[in-house]
Amino acid sequence: MNRAARCLAAVLLLTTGWRATAEEPALPYTPSLDVTAMDRTADPCADFYQYACGGWQKNNPIPPDQTTWSVYHKLSEDNVAFLRAILEQATAAKDQDAVTQKIGDYYVACMDEARADSLGAAPLEGDLDAISAAKSVGALAPLMARLQRESAGRGILFKIESQQDPDDSEREIASFDQGGLGLPDRDYYFKADAKSKDNREKYQAHVAKVLMLLGDAPASAKSSAAKIMRLETALARASLTRVERRDPYKMKHKMGPAELEAMAPNLAWKAYLAELEAPAFDIANVTAPAFFSEVSKRLGSVPLAVWKDYLRFHLANAHAPYLSAAFVTEDFDFYRKYLKGAKQIQPRWKRCVRLVDDQLGEALGQAFVRKVFTNETKETTLAMVRRIEAVMEHRLQARDWMSPETKQAALAKLHAIRNKIGYPDKWRDYSSIRVERADFEGNVRRAAAFEFARQLGKIGKPVDRDEWWMTPPTVNAYFDPTMNDINFPAGVLQPPLYDPKMDDAPNYGNTGGTIGHELTHGFDDQGRMYDAHGNLKDWWTKADAAKFAERAKCVSNQYGAYVAVEDIKINSALTLGEDVADLGGEVLAYVAWKDAVQDRKLEDRDDLSPDQRFFVGFAQWACENTRPEQQREWALTNPHSPAKYRINGVVVNMPEFERAFLCKAGAPMTKPTGKACSIW
Ligand SMILES: [Zn+2]
């Protein structure tokens, strides 16, 4: 649903005795239309992405600690440097408020590498003892709940949380989802090509190494790793694919406690739920019943010792980033170096800043928005949102392929969309989390347990429509179909994405396109299945739905013909929603821009016409270099198409682009499938 994925701040540390203070940091500035990022030797009609981003690609090699480097990632790293200064100030100042104290203490604890190293695997001891003490398969269920509660990031076997009832979006219900795999996707376990086989061998070796770090002898670790791999392969086979998971009807299986028991009788549900301390519930959604049936079957057939090894490995794998250097390095070597192509691990301060953002994000975010997000930015971007929504309304009304009934429902949905800009109205209260300067792993666990309890605590309660699931510094945006809202964190409304110093052309091309993208998600092949209230409810006439499907098919045929990396084509059944949002969003942004500037006389700048500047501004959100390993992973897991096609694939469908650059019919950058696609 999101658009991304899509000079270091001057930090001067003055040390006087024990006390350090950091200078007020500043974010570096890059304009939202950067002519130095262009490659004017390229023919825009042959490869527009090269024309708009070729200079950026040349000037911005991927840093050794990154797997991909883009305008979005660079801004995100600038934010991390800025947040670091905020955290260093927080650790140094005396007599500060409780929120500042908490993020400062958390950061100090995280930065204490020597202490983490001296502890080795000791922080896992309590859990390892509990696993070791389990006398039966039945005893594993409460153990899973215990391990799930305190594992940040990677989960244990499956996920439990809360979700809006797909049929009644006003209430929160319990939700069970598949999980339990150590590779990035279920398809990794089956693909027959040489690279995939190598992935599995390396993963199995990683599992063995982690078990050795827990003290297992090499031969025993190797044998356990092979059994864990067999168990995970069975779980992977019973897991839904990413394409299946895009269909909300395939993800909806509501059931009561008795049906949970019937679905997975070997999972000791009562003991599990008692250990969770979740509110009692009479209805839960299970996204993938076949997965839970498989878990149950394997609980009945796989020896207890193998399950114990499985849990020991996943416990250590989930906590590895917070343990000693041996664990941290093994985790980096497999997940970021081997699988994604990073050359170096990120410096510890970057990992720590991101962890504060991850676990105490709305505390750290308060300082961030105070320093970087002005009311003026909020107002001007909200005005852009409203203008783009007005264009959407006009276009919905004007679609001649849509019946009046469907139009009416579509308009009701459009009018019900809530616009959330910058940061939440009410900040999350983390006061109940105990944070200690000398207990990093404990802090991570307590913050994870807080979030776990917060999620489960929603069960049975009315929905909080003010909640955000991205933190304010996040350089990204999202549409939430069950909330029916669009969300733009402060982090994505900064230069070079939204640039208050620039004129409308690049700002509408870039941020206007992002706004249009999120708005279009409400009406893409998946979002269109939800109504104005966020309920999974069909509001389309049969004929209109068929006409929409035809238009979507045009887009999936187009993207399905593009190469993602080397021998892999784009899986356009996975990327369809994003591809539709990219196209729909940019069309909306273009019309809204024309509308905004209709009374103004616009001039050429930098040898670019106003229309050309709109399109270059658009393309430059996506300038990027990515390692081939990361590209391969994304080809299987990323619902977004590669950056180049998020630009070229859009503009080939826009006659406004052809006119702006005077492209001749039959120019090299033509659509692989011929005819232009149009969604809204
Ligand atoms: Zn999206």
Give me the chain's average pLDDT, please.
Answer: 94
What is the Å distance from ligand 1's center to 140 Cα?
Answer: 39
Which carries the bigger pLDDT value, residue 284 or residue 22?
Answer: 284
Integer Cα distance of 70 and 5 in angstroms: 9
Q: Give the Cα separation of 642 and 613 in Å (integer).
A: 22
Active-site residue 113, yes or no? no
Ligand 1 center to 480 CA (angstroms): 10
Q: How far is CA 350 from the centre of its chain?
A: 18
Q: Is 153 or 37 the better-scoring residue by pLDDT?
A: 37
Distance CA 286, CA 176 (A): 5
Distance CA 236, CA 240 (A): 8
Average pLDDT, integer, range 617-639: 98
- 561 has a pLDDT exceeding 60: yes
Q: Check if the beta carbon of residue 538 is closer than 8 Å to that of residue 405.
A: no
* Furthest-apart CA atoms within the chain: distance in Å: 79
For 453-493, write each residue's pLDDT tens digit: 999 999 999 999 999 999 999 999 999 999 999 999 999 99
First vs last Cα of the chain: how many Å apart? 18
Q: Looking at residues 224-252, what average pLDDT do you find?
A: 98
CA 76 to chain centre: 13
Pair of tokens at residue 315:
């416990």
- Judged against a pLDDT cut of 50, whether residue 6 lies above it is answered with no
Task: Considering the candidates 518, 544, 579, 586, report the single residue annotated as catalytic.
Answer: 518
Q: How far is the CA of 609 from the centre of ligand 1 (A)?
A: 29
For residue 381, what pLDDT is reported?
Answer: 96
- Using one digit for the tens of pLDDT, what is the confidence trace for 70-114? 999 999 999 999 999 999 999 987 888 999 999 999 999 999 999
Å from CA of 524 to ligand 1 middle: 10
Quote the tokens at residue 44. Answer: 């825009």
Position 14 pLDDT exceeds 50: no
Strands 13-16 and 19-22: antiparallel
Q: How far is CA 522 from CA 243, 477, 577, in A?
A: 18, 14, 10
What is the Cα–Cα distance from 638 to 576, expressed in whole angstroms?
11
Q: Summarize pLDDT for 153-165 with one digit per residue, the tens.
A: 788 999 999 999 9
- Residue recorded with tokens 């006409």: 547
Q: What's the gap in Å between 578 CA and the centre of ligand 1? A: 5
| Residue 264 DSSP symbol | S
pLDDT reading at 401 higher than 90: yes
Note whether 484 and 416 are within 8 A (CB): yes
Regarding pTM above 0.85, the answer is yes
Q: What is the pLDDT of residues 494-549, one digit of tens each?
A: 999 999 999 999 999 999 999 999 999 999 999 999 999 999 999 999 999 999 99
* Axis crossing angle, helix 98-111 with helix 440-457, rounded to the nearest 10: 130
Are the C-beta atoms of residues 519 and 486 closer than 8 Å to each other? yes
| Distance in angstroms (rounded) separating the CA atoms of residues 329 and 212 | 14
Cα separation of 290 and 29, whole Å? Answer: 51
Q: What spacing in Å lies between the alpha carbon of 520 and ligand 1's midpoint?
A: 9
Closest among 511, 517, 533, 530 to 422, alpha carbons compared: 511
CA of 513 to the centre of ligand 1 (A): 11
pLDDT 10s digits, 646-678? 999 999 999 999 999 999 877 777 666 668 999
Q: Calculate the alpha carbon distances from 561 to 16, 554, 651, 674 in Å.
A: 62, 11, 16, 11
User: What contacts 539, CB < 8 A, 6 or more positions away?
Assistant: 406, 409, 410, 413, 531
Q: Of 216, 524, 582, 586, which one is the catalytic site residue?
A: 582
Only one residue has tokens 């509990």, namely: 130
Q: CA–CA distance from 224 to each of 103, 134, 284, 303, 474 (Å)?
A: 40, 18, 34, 12, 40
Rg, C-alpha atoms of the chain: 25
Closest CA to 267 of 230, 295, 291, 237: 295
Q: How far is the CA of 87 from the centre of ligand 1 (A)?
A: 31
Residue 471 neighbours by CB under 8 Å, 6+ apart: 357, 358, 361, 362, 364, 365, 489, 491
Number of H helices, E strands in the chain: 26, 13
Check: CB of residue 530 under 8 Å from CB of residue 536: yes
Distance 518 CA to ligand 1 centre (A): 6
Share of the chain above pLDDT 90, in %: 92
pLDDT reported for residue 93? 77
Query: In terms of residues, how long is the chain?
Result: 680
**How far apart, in whole angstroms, are the C-alpha atoms of residue 148 and residue 455?**
13
pLDDT of the residue at 672: 62
Residue 379 CA to ligand 1 center (angstroms) comes to 23
Do 373 and 489 touch, CB atoms closer than 8 A?
A: no
Say if residues 618 and 589 touch (Cβ distance below 8 Å). Answer: yes
User: Residue 522 C-alpha to ligand 1 middle, in angstroms?
Assistant: 10
Residue 131 Cα to ligand 1 midpoint, Å, equals 41
Q: Which amino acid is at 270?
A: K
Q: What is the pLDDT of residues 351-361, one digit of tens each?
A: 999 999 999 99
CA distance 1 to 482: 12
Is 476 in a helix, a strand, or coil? coil
pLDDT at 24: 59
The phi and psi torsions of 295 (rounded to 5 degrees) equal: -55, -45
- Tens of pLDDT, residue by residue over 50-79, are 999 999 999 999 999 999 999 999 999 999
pLDDT at 373: 96
d(CA 488, ligand 1 centre) in Å: 12
DSSP per position, 126-148: HHHHHHHH--SGGGHHHHHHHHH
Distance 582 CA to ligand 1 centre (A): 7
Residue 125 known to be catalytic: no
Cα 165 to middle of ligand 1, angstroms: 22
- For residue 610, what are its two tokens? 């106003």
DSSP 3-state of 421: strand
pLDDT in tens, 195-237: 999 999 999 999 999 999 999 999 999 999 999 999 999 999 9
How many Å lie between the centroid of ligand 1 and the Cα of residue 12?
A: 38
Q: What is the pLDDT of residues 407-439, one digit of tens each?
A: 999 999 999 999 999 999 999 999 999 999 999
Query: Distance from the CA of 242 to the center of ligand 1, in angstroms?
Result: 15
Strand bridging mode 568-569 / 624-626: unpaired
Compute, in angstroms, the gap from residue 3 CA to the centroid of ligand 1.
4
Measured in Å, residue 523 CA sits from the centre of ligand 1 at 12
Residue 534 CA to residue 463 CA, distance in Å, equals: 11
Distance from C-alpha of 158 to C-alpha of 276, rounded to nearest angstrom = 13
Gap from CA of 431 to ligand 1 centroid (Å): 34
DSSP assignment of 601-632: ----BTTB-HHHHHHHHHHGGG-EEE-HHHHH
The dihedral sign for the CA sequence 79, 85, 91, 96? negative
Q: Both tokens of residue 396? A: 């919905």
- Cα separation of 214 and 311, whole Å? 12
Residues 6 or more apart whose Cβ sits within 8 Å of residue 383 = none
Give the residue carrying structure tokens 């096609």: 645
Cα separation of 358 and 360, whole Å?
A: 6
How high is the pLDDT of residue 680? 87
Is the pLDDT assigned to residue 22 strictly greater than 60?
Answer: no
- What the block records as the tokens of 91 is 């650790």
